[in-house]
Amino acid sequence: MNSQSEHTLIHQMVEQWLTQVVIGLNLCPFAAKPHKKKQIKIYISQARQEEPLLEDIYQQLLELESTPPERLETTLVVVPYFLSSFDDYNQFIDWIDALIIQHQWEGIYQVATFHPNYCFAGNHPEDDDNLTNKSPYPIYHLIREESIEKVLTHYPQPELIPEHNIQRIKNLTPEEKNRLFSYLMTK
């Protein structure tokens, strides 16, 4: 497969996950509106090492900083060629946090995390709860904190979102889980 068709396939898988799982199951009640307005960027990193990936994330944060939210609300940095180990992926978050601190972006940007092998602390890898954060590839979601704060003013009890998400996943039939999370079986 040439790199252009591979890039297209990766983009399609992430878009499908975003529309069918994240938005379709309403796991993120804030995603539908910016998705409809085409304000979510899916950036596919070619990085295979830490430094180039950190540079990609830095460039995406700079783009968020220089682009008004009406044009670009949020960015998904997809990492298809690196960090397939969930432990390595999780440890890399420290590098992103350090980057945010170094550029004085605390309180401006935050990172949400998704991975094919996502496993919450205290869970077993096969627990359904983990499906709320399982994605086709490792993804770092770069979020404007200001946007979250605006949306939360209109959202009752946002602290219950994770609980509601877990319940949504648990209410899926085995067939629905297989269909929605088939990307976990094909990798």
SS (H, E, C) 86-98: HHHHHHHHHHHHH
Helix (H) or strand (E) holding 140: strand 139-144
pLDDT at 61: 98
Residue range 2-32, pLDDT digits in tens? 688 999 999 999 999 999 999 999 998 889 9
| Contacts of residue 95, Cβ cutoff 8 Å, sequence gap at least 6 | 50, 54
Question: Is pLDDT at 1 greater than 70 in this prediction?
Answer: no
